[in-house]
């Protein structure tokens, strides 16, 4: 029997490499015996999950900077990091917001590299677990993880390199059209989601269980018309309805002095995301597993230091027009900081410039949705990050019903989300505009906005400092570094 040296594999890919593996050696096992065991299967999966948490150099789904979260959030209308007149912050954050990105942007390259490193690790896990005849549920989990990464790739880049076998060099990877990868994702999910565990929380906190698998499938169907030209509203609604079988509910939102910002609602974004509503989270303990920089990056330095004892980064702000859409009675407006604050700062809604010459230090509304959780330091906090939660699913159910001509069935879902936020029920059945707006109020800073704007056909419209742009901006360009490495790749239209 073939022997391998293994413990938790630490897989290192050089930029644009798909085949180089660095391995730390700790103990010796028979490969099939080890990966067939519960411990071995979890080791293979842990290596894939380690790619999801956010960290430096653009690694991860959310939590640190210059990666997937920033690419998808700063290209929407919900947040921006202006260049400051003090010389702080690179211009590419503001340029993302203004739809001025280029194939050479580091944030685009970081996202591409992270996703393909993640596909590589998922391919490896699938191979190890299938070869070892491991628990079918663990094999299914690895396949669902791989589908998750490919879903993020086609959402951002359209036609992408596609492979499921790591025995290929990066320069030979074939570029496949978006629909082909979409079909692969749907097949993988429909064949594997029901094999996943139904356990909520515990060892499945932060892992794909059955309900998280259906949440992913529902997202894929929700955006099917964007990806393939053919809507799948009925299929999306059915997937959302499966999640409802998991016993989820909206977390309470009412006033509570012991809760962050004085409301139970903000417990959803704290040290541990409550599992009554949260379907899939990124587990975070700063400097150990991932990190969450979202609030510390928003506060001005003296303000954050006065409240939390560390210097804030004076970065992310809420655009004035986005902030002003919130009703004053909406408890979700409590996340925003404006006016005089501890530390002698005075945040203004108005911003004079994003790039040339840039904003003054106190310009821009700040966001503290993720009230920093301990342990924390100047490099981030320990707030877990909700990838999927039930409020999102309810608004998806509402959207599908409206698009299928049944607005009456949509109203209870929208009303429940609004009423949890301290607002009244809608006076009439919801329109698509109502749902789009409610998604913006409820899910800001959670990584969904760019996708929503594209689906609702607002992404290319002018707003604030942003001019109207061509439809080609609905996709990001394939990075220059990837094109240089693999001459088989064709750049997305509009970027040549």
69 part of a folded domain:
yes
Domain-embedded: residue 304: no
Is residue 187 in some structural domain?
yes
Give the contacts of 180 (CB within 8 A, at least 6 positions apart): 162
DSSP 8-state class, residue 152: H
Is 446 inside any structural domain? no
DSSP state of 360: -
Residue 434 lies in a domain: no
Residue-level pLDDT, tens digit, the chain, 496 residues: 222 222 322 233 333 334 344 455 445 457 889 999 999 999 999 999 999 998 999 999 998 999 999 999 999 999 999 999 999 999 999 999 999 999 999 999 999 999 999 999 999 999 999 999 999 999 999 999 999 999 999 999 999 999 999 999 999 999 999 999 999 999 999 999 999 999 999 999 999 999 999 999 999 999 999 999 999 999 999 999 999 999 999 999 999 999 999 999 999 999 999 999 999 999 999 999 999 999 999 999 999 999 999 999 999 999 999 999 999 999 999 999 999 999 999 999 999 999 999 999 999 999 999 999 999 999 999 999 999 999 999 999 999 999 999 999 999 999 999 999 999 999 999 999 999 999 999 999 999 999 999 999 999 999 999 999 999 999 999 999 999 999 999 999 999 8
Q: Could you tell me the two tokens for 261? A: 């910002």
Helices marked H in 223-311: 224-228, 233-244, 301-308
* Within-domain flag for 445: no
Q: E strands, 136-224, where?
A: 160-161, 175-176
Query: CATH number, domain at 134?
Result: 1.25.40.390
Q: Could you tell me where the beta strands, DSSP code E, fall in 60-190?
A: 160-161, 175-176
Q: What is the Cα–Cα distance from 307 to 295, expressed in whole angstroms? A: 12
Which structural domain, as residue segments, surrounds residue 109? 1-76+99-196+466-496
Q: What is the pLDDT of residues 478-489, one digit of tens each?
A: 999 999 999 999
Cα–Cα distance for residue pair 196/139, rounded to 1 Å: 9
Inside any domain, residue 1: yes
Burial environment of residue 373 by CB neighbours within 10 A (0 to 12, 13 to 18, 19 or more): buried
- Dihedral, 163, 169, 175, 179 alpha carbons, nearest 10: 10
How many domains does one find in the chain? Answer: 1
The answer to whether position 261 is within a domain reads no
Whether the bond between 375 and the residue before it is cis, its omega within 30 degrees of 0, is yes
Partnered with residue 346 across adjacent β-strands are: 340
Integer Cα distance of 23 and 11 in angstroms: 7
Q: What is the pLDDT of residues 326-339, one digit of tens each?
A: 999 999 999 999 99
CA separation (Å) from 164 to 47, 118, 183?
17, 12, 14
């Amino acid at each position: 029997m073939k022997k391998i040296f293994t413990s938790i594999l630490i897989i290192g890919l050089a930029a644009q490499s798909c085949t180089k593996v660095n391995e730390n050696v700790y103990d010796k096992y028979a490969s099939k015996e080890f990966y067939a065991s519960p411990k071995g299967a979890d080791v293979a999966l842990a290596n894939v999950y380690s790619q999801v948490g956010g960290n430096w150099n653009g690694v991860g789904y959310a939590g640190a900077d210059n990666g997937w979260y920033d690419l998808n959030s700063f290209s929407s209308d919900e947040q921006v990091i202006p260049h400051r007149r003090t010389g702080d912050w690179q211009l590419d954050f503001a340029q993302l917001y203004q739809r001025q990105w280029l194939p050479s942007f580091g944030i685009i390259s970081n996202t591409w590299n992270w996703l393909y490193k993640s596909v590589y690790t998922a391919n490896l896990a699938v191979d190890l677990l299938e070869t070892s005849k491991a628990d079918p549920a663990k094999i299914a989990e690895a396949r669902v993880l791989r589908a998750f990464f490919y879903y993020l790739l086609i959402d951002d880049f359209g036609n992408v390199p596609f492979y499921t076998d790591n025995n290929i060099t990066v320069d030979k990877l074939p570029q496949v059209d978006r629909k082909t990868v979409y079909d692969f994702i749907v097949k993988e999910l429909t064949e594997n989601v029901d094999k996943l565990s139904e356990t909520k929380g515990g060892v499945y906190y932060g892992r794909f269980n059955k309900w998280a698998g259906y949440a992913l499938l529902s997202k894929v169907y929700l955006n099917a018309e964007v990806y393939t030209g053919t809507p799948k509203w009925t299929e999306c609604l059915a997937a959302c309805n499966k999640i409802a079988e998991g016993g989820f509910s909206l977390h309470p939102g009412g006033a509570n002095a012991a809760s962050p910002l004085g409301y139970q609602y903000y417990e959803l974004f704290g040290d541990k995301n409550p599992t009554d509503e949260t379907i899939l989270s990124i587990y975070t303990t700063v400097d150990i597993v991932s990190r969450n920089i979202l609030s510390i990056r928003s506060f001005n330095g003296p303000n954050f230091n006065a409240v939390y004892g560390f210097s804030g980064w004076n970065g992310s702000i809420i655009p004035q027009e986005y902030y002003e859409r919130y009703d004053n009675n909406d408890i979700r407006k409590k996340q925003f900081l404006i006016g005089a604050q501890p530390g002698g700062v005075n945040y203004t809604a108005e911003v004079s410039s994003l790039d040339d010459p840039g904003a003054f230090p106190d310009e821009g509304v700040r966001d503290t949705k993720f009230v920093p959780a301990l342990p924390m330091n100047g490099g981030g906090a320990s707030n877990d990050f909700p990838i999927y939660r039930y409020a999102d699913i309810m608004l998806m159910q509402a959207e599908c019903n409206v698009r299928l001509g049944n607005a009456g069935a949509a109203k209870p879902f929208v009303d429940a989300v609004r009423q949890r936020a301290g607002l009244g029920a809608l006076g009439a059945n919801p329109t698509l505009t109502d749902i789009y707006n409610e998604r913006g109020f409820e899910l800001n800073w959670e990584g969904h906005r760019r996708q929503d704007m594209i689906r609702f056909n607002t992404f290319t419209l002018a707003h604030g400092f942003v001019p109207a742009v061509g439809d080609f901006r609905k996709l990001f360009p394939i990075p220059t570094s990837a094109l240089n490495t693999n001459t088989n790749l064709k750049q997305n239209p509009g970027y040549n």
